[in-house]
Amino acid sequence: MNSIIRQRLFQQIVSLAKISGRNYYIPRRALLYVPGDDPKKISKSFTLDADCIALDCEDGVAINRKENARETIRSFLDKGKPTLSRDYDLGVRINSLETPYWQEDLKACLTAKFLPDTILVPKIETDETVRLFSDELGKYIGTNQILNLIIYIESAKAFINLVDICKTTESLSKTGNFRPVCLVFGSDDFCANIGITRTEDANEVLYARQKLVLVAKAFHLQAIDMVYIKYKDLEGLKMQCQQGMRMGYTGKQVIHPGQVSVVQDAFLPSPSQIEWALGLLKSFEEHQKQGKGAFTYKGNMIDMPTMKQAENTAKLARLKTS
Ligand SMILES: CC(C)(COP(=O)(O)OP(=O)(O)OC[C@H]1O[C@@H](n2cnc3c(N)ncnc32)[C@H](O)[C@@H]1OP(=O)(O)O)[C@@H](O)C(=O)NCCC(=O)NCCSC(=O)C[C@H](O)C(=O)O
Ligand SMILES: [Mg+2]
């Protein structure tokens, strides 16, 4: 029941933002990967209600199926983006710019009859890579067309260069034909890159996971958390979503249909959190009028920072329509 109420709230917020003509926020709570060479899975993905669908040319596709994947994706794009009951983000994850495949991937999706909304670029390690991507994009896209860009950070070198990558991306986007929207933490490639294996509690990636959020927030980007590969364990998935959300993540990568609703529910505040936040904000306003900066609300001391946290929850409840 709670989940239905929250979904309705979500729909209303997106509709209101659209009606008011504001540049509304596309939430990407679940970013679902679909192997690009599997037409059956691609068709299925359009029935799943995921906020973001990433048709994959990269790691979900075997080396000897790369060409098949880009052709299959192109044939879906040629048919036009399927209209679903609500808005969603349709993207293509190309291969890394270090591979011989990425230019063909980009060409296939950018010369289709209809463009995807978003290009997802994995394994970006330096700002030079962003320049290269931007130049290549400019060969296919007119200046009146803007695509969303999702950047993957998945190596030690990428973390060292993260601020430069974001600065260059922000600066190029002012004149280029893309808009950076998210940073994704590619935890599994990151572990491979630094020579470790992932464990259940994810302590080994804590620093990197937090750093990604910090930089994403500094550049007003959404932060997409790591993938949970034990895809049948929905309780474990929920716990990892809550952990990520507490760190400041706004969504999570998913690999299986069964993960979508768990993740999308987890990345909305619960009705009791919304009620707490709205009550606190009202009380804060009343106390401000009485000249009181600090006061007690439901047994807790409240002052400006707590009010700002409540505002964050309220904003999330409005599904971040700014
Ligand atoms: C993991 C899977 C290989 C499991 O596939 P399968 O055995 O087919 O699962 P099920 O039988 O349980 O599937 C039930 C039905 O759902 C469809 N299905 C499964 N997965 C998807 C999907 N991702 N999108 C759409 N539809 C899907 C099946 O076809 C069944 O349909 P039906 O027969 O009609 O009932 C598989 O889930 C899979 O391939 N997942 C994606 C894997 C992937 O993309 N991996 C790469 C991304 S992760 C990543 O990149 C991490 C990051 O970069 C990092 O470095 O950390
Ligand atoms: Mg990866």
CATH number of the domain that residue 141 is part of: 3.20.20.60
- pLDDT tens, residue order, the chain (322 aa): 455 555 555 555 444 444 333 344 678 999 999 999 999 999 999 999 999 999 999 999 999 999 999 999 999 999 999 999 888 999 999 999 999 999 999 999 999 999 999 999 999 999 999 999 999 999 999 878 999 999 999 999 999 999 999 999 999 999 989 999 999 999 999 999 999 999 989 999 999 999 999 999 999 999 999 999 999 999 999 999 999 999 999 999 999 999 999 999 999 888 898 999 999 999 999 999 999 999 999 999 999 999 988 988 887 787 533 3
Q: Is residue 20 part of a domain?
A: no
In short, whether 45's Cβ falls inside 6 Å of ligand 1 is yes
Q: Is residue 142 within a helix (H) or strand (E), and if so which, with residue range?
A: none
DSSP notation for 178-242: EEEEEEEE-HHHHHHHHT----TT-GGGHHHHHHHHHHHHHTT-EEEEPP---TT-HHHHHHHHH
User: Domain of 110?
Assistant: 30-267
Q: Is residue 222 part of a domain?
A: yes
CA of 232 to the centre of ligand 1 (A): 11
CA of 188 to the centre of ligand 2 (A): 6
Q: Is residue 13 part of a domain?
A: no
Q: Is residue 220 part of a domain?
A: yes
Structure pTM?
0.89
Q: Are residues 251 and 312 in the same domain?
A: no
End position of a domain, from candidates 267, 288, 303:
267
Q: Is residue 212 part of a domain?
A: yes
**Which residue minimizes the CA distance to atom 17 of ligand 1?**
41
When divided into structural domains, the chain yields a total of 2
Number of helical (H) and strand (E) elements in the chain, helices listed first: 13, 10
In short, whether 37's Cβ falls inside 6 Å of ligand 1 is no
Query: Quick one: which ligand is closest to 124's CA?
Result: 2
The pLDDT value given to residue 26: 79
In short, whether 95's Cβ falls inside 6 Å of ligand 1 is no
CA of 170 to the centre of ligand 2 (A): 23
The pLDDT value given to residue 87: 87
ipTM of the complex: 0.99
Cα distance between residue 233 and residue 187, in whole Å: 18
Q: Is residue 96 part of a domain?
A: yes
Secondary structure letter of residue 28 according to DSSP = -
Q: Is residue 16 within a helix (H) or strand (E), and if so which, with residue range?
A: helix 2-19
Q: Is residue 76 part of a domain?
A: yes
Q: Are residues 210 and 304 in the same domain?
A: no
Catalytic status, residue 303: yes
Q: Is residue 19 part of a domain?
A: no
In short, whether 50's Cβ falls inside 6 Å of ligand 1 is no
